[in-house]
């Protein structure tokens, strides 16, 4: 991989890097962006991107995550969620360059699923994911040792959400576990309970809890939170023996911001509104929502909704704005009164895209994301287990 994790830090908060500058060696994201970026005020940026894109032709394939800015998404050959995009990249073996407009863990997944000759480019290496950063490999290995000491590791199956670094996916591969997406989390948990008695689920505690309680009929008492910031991970041996789901204390900084008050406020403001949220939202929010589902589910639900209906959507703002623009016959609003983009997704902007594409045109491969062979092998074991799960 491009980044070697530093020793686990349980106390230092992640610094917020300036756009495209600086480095955080403890983060799953990469290091600083080299080179001179075009100015954001350059009026020629769209034309420069278009010219570079045309010059690259079929040698490049541009992937755009749903949460990307419009100025970037207009150049995407395909759009989708992280797993769909990685598979789309794998289906284009003729493309020499996979330009991934998303965040670091997604580019890692694309690198692991594409052929060796294909190069995956992340236009801004500082585009990480705060949720993925909340589970670092040395922390997870320490937690596994804690489970071993408590006598429960042998009966525990680790499941990681797609939104995690490649080394966390590889940890799951090595330890009998698998990867899941927000669409198949229930299936992954059911599979895991066929393999063992407990599940260690990371990095998103909310997806794990919402799936276990709302989809599988478990109780909140069946869950404990494993907190890497607390001594002994904040759990007693008895907690670990009793619980069925061990939830890593991580969350999405975008979906985690919606509250029960956001739901109450929008219901007051827009009578008859349908509240549609992503399962990365807190349990408090999803239990008050009308519909819960992945990004692809959200897109389809709004597309299929009758004209004249009203929707308050609890997911990333770029996507909600795009849905509102695409469906002017429906009232589509952001669930919270305050706007909230994913700050790391937003690091990929037009200047970074132009810079990356123009360098490729000149034959310079910049910001390549590479995962080493051993990590790729074990992460693919975890990914393949997910793909082999019965639907």
Residues belonging to the binding site for [4Fe-4S] cluster are 129, 252, 342
Nearer CB in complex with ligand SF4: 182/359: 182
CB of 103 to ligand SF4, least distance (A): 5
**101, 352 contact by CB (below 8 A):** no
Q: How many CA atoms lie within 13 A of 277 on its CB side?
A: 30
Nearer CB in complex with ligand SF4: 24/316: 316
Nearer CB in complex with ligand SF4: 67/201: 67
CB of 175 to ligand SF4, least distance (A): 23
Nearest to 367 by CA among 159, 54, 61, 127: 127
Residue set of the binding site for iminosuccinate: 65, 82, 161-163, 182, 278-280, 295
Q: What is the CA radius of gyration of the chain?
A: 21
CB of 319 to ligand SF4, least distance (A): 10
Nearer CB in complex with ligand SF4: 263/345: 345
- Asked whether the bond before 258 is cis by omega within 30 degrees of 0, the reply is no
Residue set of the binding site: 65, 82, 129, 161-163, 182, 252, 278-280, 295, 342
CB of 84 to ligand SF4, least distance (A): 14
Nearer CB in complex with ligand SF4: 146/251: 251
Distances in Å between the Cα of 112 and the Cα atoms of 116, 121, 182, 200 are: 9, 13, 20, 23
Strand pairing category for 78-80 and 97-101: unpaired
Nearer CB in complex with ligand SF4: 223/252: 252
DSSP 143-187: HHHHHHHTT-GGGEEEEEESSS-HHHHHHHHHTT-EEE-TTTHHH
CB of 295 to ligand SF4, least distance (A): 9
Residue ranges that bind ligand SF4, judged by CB under 6 A:
67, 103, 129-131, 163, 252-254, 316, 342, 344-345
Nearest to 342 by CA among 358, 321, 311, 362: 321
8-state DSSP, 289: -
DSSP strands (E only) in the chain: 60-65, 78-80, 97-101, 119-121, 156-161, 178-180, 198-202, 223-226, 245-248, 274-277, 291-292, 310-314, 331-334
CB of 373 to ligand SF4, least distance (A): 26
């Amino acid at each position: 991989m491009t980044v070697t994790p530093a020793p686990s830090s349980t106390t230092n908060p992640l610094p917020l890097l300036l756009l495209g500058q600086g480095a955080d060696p403890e983060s799953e994201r990469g290091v600083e962006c080299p080179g001179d970026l075009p100015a954001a005020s350059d009026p020629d940026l769209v034309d420069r991107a278009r010219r570079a894109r045309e010059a690259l032709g079929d040698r490049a394939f541009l992937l755009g995550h749903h949460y990307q800015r419009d100025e970037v998404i207009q150049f995407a050959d395909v759009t989708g969620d992280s797993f769909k995009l990685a598979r789309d990249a794998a289906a284009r073996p003729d493309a020499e360059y996979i330009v991934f407009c998303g965040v670091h863990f997604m580019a890692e997944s694309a690198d692991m699923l594409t052929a060796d000759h294909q190069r995956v480019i992340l236009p801004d290496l500082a585009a990480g994911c705060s949720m993925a950063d909340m589970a670092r490999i040395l922390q997870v290995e320490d937690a596994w040792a804690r489970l071993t000491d408590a006598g429960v590791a042998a009966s525990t199956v680790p499941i990681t959400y797609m939104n995690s670094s490649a080394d966390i996916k590889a940890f799951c591969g090595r330890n009998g576990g698998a990867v899941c997406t927000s669409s198949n989390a229930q299936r992954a948990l059911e599979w895991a309970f066929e393999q063992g008695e407990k599940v260690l689920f990371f990095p998103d505690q909310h997806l794990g809890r919402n799936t276990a309680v709302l989809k599988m009929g478990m109780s909140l008492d069946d869950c404990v939170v494993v907190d890497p910031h607390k001594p002994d991970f904040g759990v007693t041996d008895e907690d670990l023996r009793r619980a069925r789901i061990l939830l890593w204390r991580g969350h999405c900084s975008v979906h985690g911001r919606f509250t029960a008050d956001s739901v109450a406020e929008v219901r007051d403001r827009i009578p008859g509104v349908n509240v549609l949220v992503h399962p990365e939202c807190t349990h408090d929010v999803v239990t008050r929502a009308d519909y819960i589902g992945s990004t692809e589910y959200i897109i389809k639900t709004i597309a299929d909704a009758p004209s004249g209906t009203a929707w308050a959507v609890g997911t990333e703002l770029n996507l909600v704005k795009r849905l509102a623009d695409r469906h002017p016959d429906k009232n589509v609003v952001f669930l919270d009164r305050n706007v909230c983009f994913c700050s790391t997704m937003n690091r990929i902007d037009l200047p970074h895209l132009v810079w990356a594409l123009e360098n490729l045109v000149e034959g310079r491969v910049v910001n390549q994301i590479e995962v080493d062979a051993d990590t790729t092998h074990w992460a693919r074991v975890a990914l393949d287990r997910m793909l082999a799960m019965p639907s």
